[in-house]
């Protein structure tokens, strides 16, 4: 009875005096933001005090300096949003003060302060105030000790009281000295349930109905998934059914607690008042990471307990701690998970309308894209030196730059955004050429490595072998963080120019394999700049500023700054650089990351980024998935799954209206053990005015190319005939709705493939992408005219947007499948 009365007292009393104690100023003056060194200092002091209290040693003797007290004050202020904390020594004792902004929009503060005097036999609180209301020190101490006693037990309270009684202070430091009782770990753990009970009283309601939590726990135990989203789907399907007779907000709240209990800490069951022994449960992932699930669920539950600001403050402080030496580094992806969990918690339990919407959306989604943002391209692993140099403090301009992007991604999630996705009106699709330009076909390889990075051979040797296997052009794409950082530009330029003179039959382009920021080498792209006399100097400048190996700078927090640099160069030369996204799924946790990446990069810049459809490492076929060894994503018949899967990332981007190409095949040659020589096995065939560098870049921009492996196709022609004329790969034309168009494909085969086996065409598929669906049509009968397959098929246009692309296969005697892929053609229906 006494404890219940006490709890009611600590709830009602503050409410009754709140308005009387409000002031128009903050007693504690805002100080500079906390630094990583101060975080480390505060952490070490807290560890020191904590260790002393829970050790088996009965005596305590700890000294804390004023500098350490200031660090603790700053950490306390950082953990409690809208609040500032001060613990400091003075001539009269220890100053304890706190200020909280009660209403965000108005300057009303609740100030509290006390002095702790150490001049008496025992330390005493005096001159305490709540706002301008004086409080007797012994009342404050009695209230505080009873609160500690209720939450942590009598023994803990006795220890705190005894040690504080023996507190001493000298010149700019305090000393905790005295005897204590040895505490048992279970005494501290038992406090969690009491904290939960206190939270319920403060909110004037139970957290959630226990029987509802049990129902959702029972549902969870029916399934076993590696990801969190499928669990969510089952729970919200059940919630939709139960909400026909029950409150949807209560049902969604029960789902949160069931998820936290099942996949979080066992203390959540105690806080919810449930006796639940879950045993071993595999932690499901969000975006391929189990730790993100924990961040998400813990933040969601803290949000339910009313600690919205604490969620983010704790998350930020945790990441600051991680940035210290020995930590994993400051992680914006972890912070994004904290924010996403809080937004999720607030929305699905906000009101009945939001609760019903959440049930409708989440019951129909098997992936996390509806409620969790992409985080793989956020800056991570920032150590203390990098964090201090680049970010500085929480709330700095650099910090807000990344935080704003996180907030935007969360706001745009399907769960919260009511806007219907509109098709992208991509201006970069090319209309049919009015002036006939003489175009020829050229065989190129855009991705080879020389001795200047991971390659084994000289530029001259690469060029000689390229000529041997029929290449008209190659791009030497060494890593920028290797030879260009090592100051070898002059030597590189000399050998490059020498190779060009010795091999006049092949165009040798200077390129770069760019480590795209902020991935730290996880994602890479081929960069080829317009030809100029300053080409290598420009590549070196780009690499030094924007190529991210394993380091950070202001320019490497986002690819935005690199894209702006490339845009400026395109305006100068009136030719856009080539940007090919290499081996898109090689290190991805999820294939869907690629769709997000292309959309995000196009949002940042008008530069066209296209897929390198067939990655290198083809000699590794059959041993480790053609070089893709990360997680379970593998190439399919040598092509990246974002390209090879019907309805995959390439098709979905085309369906959304983006101009993006994917029909290139490169060797990524480094050495003969892992790779084939340029154009020996993989090749890209471009239609261009010439084999000069700038004409090649223009052809890539226009999408006039197709790619193959196995060298079984000699020539290919793909067009669509409309009432207004004919369009080819990379082009768009306007047609009438219900117009009958004709799709034309001509494939001339080489007599022999790359292994001197007879070439044939085993299968051809037409992929059709409309606003409503994506289909693959297998063509069972292909008319052969000698060595040439000729396809001509009519097609009625019944969608506002229609995109066509082809692929075909040749299967050799060893049952190895080799493929060709074309770039797409787009038709847009005229508005009636």
CB 59 within 8 A of CB 180: yes
Which residues fall within 8 angstroms of residue 498, CB to CB, at 6 or more apart?
Answer: 459, 460
Can you tell me the distance from the alpha carbon of 616 to that of 445, in angstroms, rounded to the nearest whole number? 11
CB 662 within 8 A of CB 706: no
Supply the pLDDT for residue 198. 47
With a cut of 60, say whether residue 571 has pLDDT above it.
yes
Mean pLDDT of 248-258: 94
With a cut of 80, say whether residue 295 has pLDDT above it.
yes
Mean pLDDT (the chain) is: 84
With a cut of 50, say whether residue 206 has pLDDT above it.
no
- The per-residue b/e assignment along 88-100, b for 16 or more CB within 10 angstroms, e otherwise, is ebeeebbbbbbbb
**Where in the chain are all domains bearing CATH 3.20.20.140?**
427-709
User: What are the helix (H) ranges across 153-283?
Assistant: 154-165, 185-189, 191-202, 210-220, 228-242, 248-263, 267-271
Supply the pLDDT for residue 199. 47
* Long-range CB pairs of 532-536, under 8 A, 24+ apart, other chains included: 532/573, 535/510, 536/489, 536/492, 536/493, 536/496, 536/510
Can you tell me the distance from the alpha carbon of 671 to that of 223, in angstroms, rounded to the nearest whole number? 47
How distant is the alpha carbon of residue 55 from its chain centre? 41
- Digit-coded pLDDT (tens) for 436-467: 678 999 999 999 999 888 888 999 999 999 99
Mean pLDDT of 165-187: 69
What is the helix (H) or strand (E) element at residue 406, kind and residue range? Answer: helix 397-411
Lowest-pLDDT choice from 174-183, 249-258, 383-392, 529-538? 174-183
What is the helix (H) or strand (E) element at residue 328, kind and residue range? Answer: none
| CATH superfamily ID and name for 711-832 | ApaG domain (2.60.40.1470)
Question: What separation in angstroms does the CA of 515 have from each of 175, 480, 547, 551?
Answer: 52, 8, 5, 11
Mean pLDDT of 278-290: 90
Which residues fall within 8 angstroms of residue 727, CB to CB, at 6 or more apart?
Answer: 432, 719, 720, 733, 825, 827
Query: What tokens appear for 799 in the block?
Result: 């969608």
Supply the pLDDT for residue 325. 55
Ramachandran region of residue 775, left (φ > 0), alpha (ψ -120 to 50) or beta? beta
Among 441, 440, 597, CA closest to 522: 597
- Digit-coded pLDDT (tens) for 735-752: 999 999 999 999 999 999
572 or 148, which is more confident: 572
CB 258 within 8 A of CB 207: no
- The per-residue b/e assignment along 60-73, b for 16 or more CB within 10 angstroms, e otherwise, is beeebebebbbbbb
Q: Which residue has 């959702």 as its token pair? A: 216
Reply yes or no: is the peptide bond before residue 518 cis, omega within 30 of 0.
yes
Q: Which residue has 């709830």 as its token pair? A: 11
Burial class (CB within 10 angstroms; exposed 0-12, middle 13-18, buried 19+) of 763: middle
- The per-residue b/e assignment along 129-152, b for 16 or more CB within 10 angstroms, e otherwise, is bbbeeebebeebbeebbbebbbbb
SS3 content of the chain, % helix, strand, coil (to 5): 40, 25, 40
Among 239, 237, 260, CA closest to 249: 239
In the chain, count H helices and then E strands: 25, 28
Query: What tokens appear for 542 in the block?
Result: 């780009």
CB 762 within 8 A of CB 811: yes
93 or 263, which is more confident: 263
- Digit-coded pLDDT (tens) for 376-424: 999 988 887 788 888 888 778 998 999 999 999 999 999 998 766 555 6
Q: Residue 369: how many CB atoms within 10 A of its CB?
A: 18
How far separated are the first and last CA of the chain, in Å rounded?
A: 78
Which residues fall within 8 angstroms of residue 86, CB to CB, at 6 or more apart?
Answer: 28, 73, 95, 96, 97, 98
CB 331 within 8 A of CB 381: yes
DSSP-derived secondary structure for 261-292:
HHHS-THHHHHTT--------PPPBBTTBHHH
Supply the pLDDT for residue 183. 54
Among 84, 86, 87, CA closest to 101: 84
What is the helix (H) or strand (E) element at residue 132, kind and residue range? Answer: none
How are beta strands 440-448 and 705-709 bridged, if at all?
Answer: unpaired
Among 250, 328, 340, CA closest to 286: 340
With a cut of 90, say whether residue 267 has pLDDT above it.
no
Q: Residue 220: how many CB atoms within 10 A of its CB?
A: 22
Evaluated on CA atoms 86, 90, 95, 101, the torsion sign reads negative
Which residues fall within 8 angstroms of residue 499, CB to CB, at 6 or more apart?
Answer: 458, 459, 460, 462, 463, 508
Can you tell me the distance from the alpha carbon of 493 to that of 330, in angstroms, rounded to the nearest whole number? 39
Can you tell me the distance from the alpha carbon of 273 to that of 201, in angstroms, rounded to the nearest whole number? 13
Can you tell me the distance from the alpha carbon of 308 to that of 345, in angstroms, rounded to the nearest whole number? 10
| CATH superfamily ID and name for 427-709 | Metal-dependent hydrolases (3.20.20.140)
Among 730, 578, 737, CA closest to 654: 730
250 or 624, which is more confident: 250
Fill in the DSSP letter of residue 224. -
**Would you say the pTM of this structure is higher than 0.95?**
no
- Digit-coded pLDDT (tens) for 45-98: 877 776 776 666 777 788 888 888 888 878 777 666 678 888 888 777 788 888
Mean pLDDT of 161-190: 68
Mean pLDDT of 791-818: 95
**Where in the chain are all domains bearing CATH 2.60.40.1470?**
711-832
- Digit-coded pLDDT (tens) for 213-251: 999 999 999 999 999 999 999 999 999 999 999 999 999
- The per-residue b/e assignment along 655-673, b for 16 or more CB within 10 angstroms, e otherwise, is bbbbbbbbbbbbbbbbeee
Can you tell me the distance from the alpha carbon of 751 to that of 762, in angstroms, rounded to the nearest whole number? 15
């Amino acid at each position: 009875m006494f404890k219940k009365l006490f709890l009611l007292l600590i709830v009602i009393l503050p409410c009754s005096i709140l308005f009387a104690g409000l002031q128009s100023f903050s007693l504690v003056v805002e100080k500079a933001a906390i630094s990583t060194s101060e975080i480390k200092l505060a952490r070490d002091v807290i560890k020191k005090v904590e260790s002393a209290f829970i050790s088996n040693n009965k005596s305590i003797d700890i000294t804390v300096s004023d500098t350490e007290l200031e660090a603790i004050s700053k950490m306390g202020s950082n953990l409690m949003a809208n609040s500032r904390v001060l613990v400091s020594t003075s001539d009269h004792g220890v100053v304890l003060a706190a200020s909280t902004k009660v209403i965000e929009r108005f300057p009303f503060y609740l100030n509290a302060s006390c002095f702790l005097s150490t001049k008496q036999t025992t330390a005493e609180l005096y001159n305490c105030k709540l706002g301008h209301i004086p409080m007797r020190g012994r009342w404050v101490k009695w209230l505080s000790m009873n609160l500690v006693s209720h939450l942590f037990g009598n023994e803990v309270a006795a220890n705190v009281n005894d040690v504080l009684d023996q507190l001493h202070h000298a010149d700019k430091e305090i000393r905790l000295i005295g005897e204590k009782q040895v505490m048992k770990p279970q005494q501290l753990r038992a406090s969690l349930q009491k904290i939960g009970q206190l939270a319920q009283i403060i909110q004037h309601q139970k957290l959630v109905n226990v029987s509802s939590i049990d129902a959702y726990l029972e549902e969870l135990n029916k399934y076993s998934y590696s990801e969190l989203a499928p669990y969510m789907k089952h729970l919200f399907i059940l919630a939709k059914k139960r909400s026909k007779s029950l409150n949807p907000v209560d049902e969604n709240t029960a789902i949160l607690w069931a998820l936290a209990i099942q996949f979080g800490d066992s203390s959540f069951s105690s806080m919810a008042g449930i006796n639940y022994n879950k045993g071993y449960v595999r932690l499901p992932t969000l975006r391929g990471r189990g730790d993100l699930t924990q961040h998400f669920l813990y933040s969601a539950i803290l949000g339910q307990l009313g600690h919205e600001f604490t969620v983010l403050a704790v998350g930020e402080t945790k990441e600051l701690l991680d940035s210290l030496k020995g930590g994993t580094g400051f992680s914006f992806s972890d912070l994004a998970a904290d924010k996403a969990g809080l937004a999720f918690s607030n929305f699905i339990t906000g009101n009945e309308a939001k609760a019903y919407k959440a049930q409708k959306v989440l019951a129909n989604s098997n992936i996390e894209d509806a409620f969790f943002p992409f985080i793989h391209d956020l800056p991570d692993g920032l150590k203390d030196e990098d964090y201090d140099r680049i970010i500085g403090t929480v709330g700095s301009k650099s910090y807000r730059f990344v935080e704003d992007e996180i907030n935007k991604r969360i706001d745009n999630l399907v769960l919260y955004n009511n806007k219907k996705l509109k098709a992208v009106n991509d201006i970069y699709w090319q209309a049919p050429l009015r002036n006939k330009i003489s175009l020829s076909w050229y065989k190129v390889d855009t991705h080879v490595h020389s001795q200047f990075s991971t390659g084994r051979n000289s530029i001259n040797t690469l060029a000689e072998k390229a000529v041997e296997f029929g290449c008209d052009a190659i791009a030497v794409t060494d890593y920028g963080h290797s030879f260009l950082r090592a100051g070898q530009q002059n030597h590189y330029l000399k050998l490059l120019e020498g190779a060009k003179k010795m091999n006049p039959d092949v165009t040798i382009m200077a390129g770069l394999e760019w480590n795209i920021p902020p991935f730290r080498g996880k994602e890479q792209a081929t960069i080829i700049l317009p030809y100029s006399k300053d080409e290598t100097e420009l590549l070196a400048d780009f690499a030094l500023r924007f190529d991210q190996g394993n380091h950070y700078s202001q320019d490497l927090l986002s690819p935005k700054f690199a894209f702006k640099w490339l845009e400026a160069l395109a305006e100068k030369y009136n030719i856009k650089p080539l940007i090919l996204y290499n081996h898109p799924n090689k290190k991805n946790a999820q294939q869907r990351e690629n769709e997000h990446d292309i959309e995000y990069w196009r949002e940042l810049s008008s530069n066209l980024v296209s897929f390198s459809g067939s990655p290198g490492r083809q000699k590794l076929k059959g041993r480790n998935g053609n070089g893709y060894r990360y997680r379970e994503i593998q190439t399919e018949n040598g092509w990246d799954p974002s390209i090879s899967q019907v309805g995959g990332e390439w098709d979905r981007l085309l369906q959304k209206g983006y101009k993006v190409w994917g029909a290139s095949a490169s060797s990524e040659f480094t050495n003969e053990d892992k790779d084939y020589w340029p154009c020996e096995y993989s090749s890209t065939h471009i239609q261009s005015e010439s084999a000069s560098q700038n004409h090649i870049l223009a052809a890539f921009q226009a999408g006039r190319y197709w790619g193959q492996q196995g060298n079984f196709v000699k020539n290919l022609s793909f067009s669509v005939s409309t009432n207004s004329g004919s369009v080819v790969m990379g082009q768009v034309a306007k047609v009438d709705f219900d117009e009958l168009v004709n799709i034309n494909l001509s494939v001339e085969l080489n007599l022999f493939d790359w292994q001197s086996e007879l070439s044939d065409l085993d299968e051809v598929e037409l992929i059709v992408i409309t606003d409503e669906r994506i289909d693959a049509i297998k063509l069972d009968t292909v008319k052969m005219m000698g060595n040439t397959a000729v396809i001509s098929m009519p097609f009625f246009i019944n969608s506002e947007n229609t995109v066509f692309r082809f692929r075909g296969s040749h299967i050799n005697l060893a049952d190895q499948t080799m493929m060709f892929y074309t770039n797409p053609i787009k038709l847009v229906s005229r508005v009636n």
